[in-house]
Structure 1
Amino acid sequence: MANWEEWTSFYDGTYYEVFNSRQNLIDWVQNVGRGIGYVIVIKNSRRNYNVVFQCDRGGVYRSTKNSTRNTGTEKINCPFKLEGRYTASGDSWNVKMVCEMQNHQPALYLEDETRLVEDLLDKNVKPKDILSTIKNKIADENIRRTKRGDKTQMQVVMEFLQHNGFVHESRANASTNELENLFFDHPKSLEIWRAFPHVVLMDATYNTNMYKLPLLEIVGVTPTNMTFCIAFVYMHKEKKPNYTWALDY
């Protein structure tokens, strides 16, 4: 069971913090929540009086006789609750902790979810569709984490490469044993490359994966101008020694 140690000053039920608008209060609560791995939503609100927050996994689903529900986030009656209240004397909003307890672990990679929201907003996706996308993404990650068990993500990656016949090589930092470079390709890719070895393209992308590592993609081109993947390389830095290591292998 997780608690919000970052907000221990709220535990005595006293109102803390002062916000000059309702929206500033909402933004602050949700930003703090994302910072420690929880999605906080508005449970109910009286616009000029108070606003009550809960975890997005709070409450339970109400099923009807002739309906089914397909959702990305399971409601498990998480008890966490915050309340913001308007004070006319100071023309401001205050917030207090009602219940600090969480009955589930925080979600991972909410920073990636924030970037996803920004991208969807830029594409004029409706808020309700954005919420559905985020919930599905978090649910998928929770399923993967359950299947992964005690293994680290990198252990899962290495097992996947080995069990599926990928040719792979890695290099770790000598002092910290932290993985710095990972080269991998599929044997079928090498067969295609041997048939069409004349044109090779390389390009590195940034901030497109959870490891925050540059990903070097090596592709080939057939005589009919079709591209095919040859190999991929996660690199600690996009420096000459990293490229040399990848290409020498």
Structure 2
Amino acid sequence: MVKSVKLTGEGNSKVGVGENSSNISVFSTDKIFVSPDELKKWAEKNGRENGVVIVTERTKKNAKGEVNKIFLMCDRGGVYKSTAKVKRSGTIKTDCPFQLVGKYHDGYGGWMLQVSRDAHNHELAQHMEGHSYAMRLTGEQKITIFQGESHIEVLFRHLDDKGYTHDFCKNPSTNAMEDLFFMHPTSYNMFRSFPHVLIIDTTYNTNVYKLPFVQIVGVTSTYKTITIALSFIAKEKEDNFRWVLTRLKKMLHECMMPRVILTYRDLALINACNVVFPDAAKLLCRWHISQNIKKHCKQSFAKGNNWEFFEELWSSVVFSPTPAAYEYSHKRLRDGLTRKHKRVFEYVNTNWLVKYKEMFVSA
């Protein structure tokens, strides 16, 4: 059974599934709203104050074609739907059951809000700053914030106001900013306390400028992952990665250097890690490896269970507990692919196993 979190008016205490509580929801109100927009704005504001992002689920119209009911839900409501064959991004949706219903009442001449389901199947946000939906700006807010300032000037003002450590690199020919590095003050303190393990990943096409976005994550003594630093870079070249890692290294003045660095197989990034952190062990994420192989090799298999058979052979190889077990599993992989899928074997063997098999690790 999925844990349910219920918002109440007494300290927002959490009530589990099947438990009874006489507390009134923080969304309960006798207020009469003049329009559905006013009702929604009230619910959104109340939600932000209590760690919930409220979005419109759907509306309902009467016989005259006028909207007379609006359904609101948590932004984690519903399930992720995609027609893409390969899932390219994660989703925050958990099919959260939370629901509010706004309805127009002729007798009151306005809109009233009803709490339909006041429960969540996920933890509520502790801080709304940085939430992708909560940070969206209205047209009026954009005019207020950006008037007389460029986007970069606004960004640096925000970083300074929040106490971020940040730096940037300019193109010497055009004087345009190419790379940007920033670290939250809490991340700075955590990094200096737990510098031993770094996980570095780069995402693509996740921002309006289509720039590679470098995410650097650390691990605490209780095995919790923490965001250490973030960086936008102009290109995925060794020089760009080296600049980012050099800025990161400066944060560890008089501290222990990282002992382990986990990345995906990007030669430019690996080379930069070897230069800036030469003594750290370099490891590769098995999940990224599997996604790479799936992208380049799955189309070579016909419909049926051939791909599942390959995945079984590949898993035996990468999870081999001893050198002898590896040799046995590697032979099974070679024998199973050579006749019909020689190209697939050559790809995984040449690109992954020959040079990097000792670096595979689960992250």
Normalised to the residue count of structure 1, the TM-score between the two structures is 0.46
Higher strand share: 1
Structure (1 or 2) with the larger CA radius of gyration = 2
Bigger relative contact order (CA 8 A; separation at least 6): 1
